[in-house]
Chains A and B, each alone.
Chain A
Amino acid sequence: EDQVTQSPEALRLQEGESSSLNCSYTVSGLRGLFWYRQDPGKGPEFLFTLYSAGEEKEKERLKATLTKKESFLHITAPKPEDSATYLCAVQNIQGAQKLVFGQGTRLTINP
């Protein structure tokens, strides 16, 4: 059974303090790994797709990386508006119609 575990559950940073969020996964055949951002009371918003180990994607202050067992979401010099829950999900080659999500990391950036 595919599994995704995210750590830490919650992270509080000062504005400008860089850090990383971890996503560990187990999947029989990885089709893709995805990062989403979710603001309180909203649906998740797509950020990145990673398909193979060694791949990296960047968007503004965020960079996502992928290995064969885990993915990291690096946040550089964060701002208060980066506060949100960040969700990681995997898509299996078989049963590709569904995403299996982790429980998320709740990130708070203090000004």
Chain B
Amino acid sequence: ETGVTQSPTHLIKTRGQQVTLRCSSQSGHNTVSWYQQALGQGPQFIFQYYREEENGRGNFPPRFSGLQFPNYSSELNVNALELDDSALYLCASSLGLAVTGELFFGEGSRLTVL
């Protein structure tokens, strides 16, 4: 059974640039959620994708967008990067629309915005 994998693991961008983060969900999981975790804080929900459709969004501006592909992998795109976007971005997969809360997280992509 393959776990959740994310890439890249670390990246550095400058303010105003755009970034794409990628996630491969755990085998058999069709739901992917993205969370942002600032240093010393708990994860914050960005959005969730189920069968290629956005299924719920947190309090993040439209410059945060995503995609889910037919193989259930996913991308998170952030445009016009700001300094406050520096954080660990976590992808989590789960099975089915009725999320049990039992999310399987990847190790995250650490984004630094200078």
Contact = CB atoms under 8 A, between A and B. Distances in A.
Q: Give chain B's interface residue range (CB within 8 Å of chain A).
A: 20 to 34
B76 interface: no
Which 7 A-B residue pairs are closest in the complex by CB-CB distance? A43-B105, A101-B42, A97-B56, A98-B45, A34-B101, A97-B48, A32-B101
Given A43-B4, A91-B101, A96-B98, 4 more contacts: A89-B101, A97-B50, A99-B101, A104-B42
Interface of B: 4, 33, 35, 40-45, 48, 50, 55-56, 58, 90, 92, 97-108
Contacts, number: 63
Nearest to A102: B42
B43 A97 contact: no
Contact of B99 (A43, A91, A100, A101): A91
**Residue among B4, B101, B102 facing the most chain A CB atoms (10 A cut-off):** B101
Q: Give chain A's interface residue range (CB within 8 Å of chain B).
A: 20 to 34
B107 A43 contact: yes
Interface of A: 4, 31-32, 34, 41-46, 49, 87, 89, 91, 95-104
A44 B90 contact: yes
Contacts of B102: 34, 46, 49
